[in-house]
Amino acid sequence: MHDDELTALAVARALDNVHDGGKPFACLIVRDGEVVVEAVNHVAQTGDPTAHAEIRAIRAAAEQGITDLTGHEVFVTAYPCPMCLGALYYAQPDRVVFAATREQEGEHYEDGNRLMTLATFYDEYAKPVAERALPSEQGRVDDPTAPFREWTARHPS
């Protein structure tokens, strides 16, 4: 399949999910023009706020033994949210193709909450920690870096 067909398929899967009571998002993981994983957003169906299409697709790929998306492309309904974008950076596909821009999505859909809106979510990450909508602080512990040092000792580069 070609890019336009795969982008259209992602949109079609998202529409199917809306008809089934879900949110308007789908993700395809593709290798050599063939879909190897399909997933749709299941936040409405499960109540799990991390059940975004991209996250579910990456997890499904891992269940198939695909733990690195090098050599794969990802096709999504809309430009990924910061959570999904971060997951995609960790998964390392060759590229991401999105149907709708954030602005196009925002004309018809809002998925914010008390801490953010679609328009402000990306900007939260650029703010200093103390200025973000989600209060965060460092807890006190004698040796906060112990797990990281242990990891490095067990996994030398």
Q: What residues are paired with 30 via a beta bridge? A: 35, 73
Q: How far is CA 11 from CA 18, 28, 127, 140, 157, in A?
A: 11, 10, 33, 47, 42
Dist CA 119 CA 81 (whole Å): 11
Residues in the chain: 157
Dist CA 49 CA 40 (whole Å): 13
Identify the active-site residue in 38, 54, 73, 105.
Answer: 54
* Strand residue runs (E) in the chain: 26-31, 34-40, 73-78, 95-100
**Catalytic site includes residue 54:** yes
Catalytic residues, by residue number, are 54
